[in-house]
Amino acid sequence: MTFSPKVLTQALRRLETGGFVDRTVIPAVPLHVEYALTDLGRSVARPLAAVRHWVEAHLDEIGPAAAAG
């Protein structure tokens, strides 16, 4: 999956607003921005990994159910 720079920036700003990432502007030429997970952002990694593992284990059931939907 590929995202345009605009879509990526919008997603990162939403994550920043939600408290999941910190944004640091580095005054250089050209301007440089770095993002880092906050404690809140790191705390959601394990639950999201569990959901990913569940989806991977049930893909054969999810695909047909979604197609029949």
pLDDT at residue 3, rounded to an integer: 84
Please, are residues 37 and 53 in contact by the beta-carbon 8 Å criterion? no
Q: What is the largest CA-CA distance in the chain?
A: 53
pLDDT at residue 26, rounded to an integer: 95
Instruction: Give me the residue spans of the domains in the chain.
Output: 5-68
The band of 67, judged by pLDDT with boundaries at 50, 70 and 90, is: confident
CATH number of this structure's domain 5-68, picked from the four choices 1.10.10.10, 1.25.40.10, 2.60.40.10, 1.10.940.10: 1.10.10.10
pLDDT at residue 33, rounded to an integer: 93
The single-letter DSSP state of residue 39 is H
Q: For 7-60, how does the pLDDT look when each residue is reduced to its tens digit (9 = 90+)?
A: 999 999 999 999 999 999 999 999 999 999 999 999 999 999 999 999 999 988
Which residues lie below 8 Å from residue 27, measured CB to CB, with a gap of 6+? none
For residue 68, pLDDT over 80 is answered with: no
